[in-house]
């Protein structure tokens, strides 16, 4: 009995990962072709654009992107070279620095977004009915919550989870 459940779940997993992988490469290709941005570039721009002051500490950015420090440094430096972000020393903490969205970065995002979102709709969202959208949201918001927690929890297992 658990057997057949496992079979279904395994099949679900394979289906999900295979299609997702295909989807992501497709979307990244589209994004690169229409805007010259990588997924990571785009993601950084989105994150910065949504936050007050359009700026984030490097560490914060690294956490959200799940990037190692030096990888993040590389990513931001690359975007800085292309004028998409700037780097500023952090006022509160002399060690830190912040990545700040530039006007050019915002423009790049505004230009890229319509194409990218269209691509997302075409390849994925337009095919889903409302119930499926709801299921997707439910499944992955739970998953995201768990994984975000799990990252800290290695160091914070004691710090009572708390239900946000």
Partner DNA sequence: CAACTCTTGTTCAAATTTTGACTAAGTGCT
Partner DNA sequence: AGCACTTAGTCAAAATTTGAACAAGAGTTG
What CA–CA distance (Å, rounded) separates 14 from 20?
Answer: 10
Residue indicated by tokens 């423009």: 107
The entry of a copy of itself, DNA, none near residue 71 (CB within 5 to 8 angstroms by kind) is: DNA
**In the complex, least distance from residue 42 CB atom to a copy of itself, rounded to whole angstroms:** 11
Q: What angle do CA 31, 145, 52 make, to 5 degrees?
A: 60
Side-chain-side CA neighbours of 44 within 13 Å: the count stands at: 31
Q: Residues near 31 by Cβ (< 8 Å), separated by ≥ 6?
A: 37, 38, 39, 42, 112, 115, 116, 119
19 binds a copy of itself, rule: CB under 8 A: yes
Residue 40 in the binding site for DNA (CB under 7 A): yes
Task: Report the residue number, 99 or 109, with the smaller CB distance to DNA.
Answer: 99
Q: How far is the CB of 15 from DNA (least distance, A)?
A: 23
Residues in contact with DNA, total (CB under 7 A)? 26
100 φ/ψ angles, rounded to the nearest 5 degrees: -120, 135
Query: 40 or 86, CB closer to a copy of itself?
Result: 40
Residues that bind DNA (CB under 7 A): 38, 40, 57-60, 62, 67-78, 87, 90, 93-97
Residues that bind a copy of itself (CB under 8 A): 5, 8-13, 15-26, 66, 117, 120-121, 123-125, 127-128, 130-144, 146-148, 150
């Amino acid at each position: 009995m658990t057997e057949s459940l496992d079979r279904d779940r395994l099949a679900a997993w394979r289906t999900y990962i295979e299609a997702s992988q295909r989807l992501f490469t497709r979307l990244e290709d589209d994004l690169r072709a229409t805007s010259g941005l990588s997924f990571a570039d785009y993601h950084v721009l989105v994150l910065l654009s949504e936050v007050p002051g359009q700026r984030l500490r490097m560490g914060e950015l690294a956490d959200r992107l799940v990037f190692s420090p030096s990888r993040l440094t590389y990513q931001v430096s690359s975007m800085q070279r292309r004028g998409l972000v700037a780097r500023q020393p952090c006022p509160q903490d002399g060690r830190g620095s912040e990545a700040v969205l530039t006007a050019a970065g915002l423009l790049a995002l505004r230009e890229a977004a319509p194409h990218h979102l269209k691509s997302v709709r075409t390849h994925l969202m337009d095919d889903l009915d409302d119930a499926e959208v709801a299921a997707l949201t439910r499944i992955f918001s739970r998953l995201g919550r768990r994984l975000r927690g799990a990252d800290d929890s290695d160091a914070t297992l004691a710090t009572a989870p708390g239900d946000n």
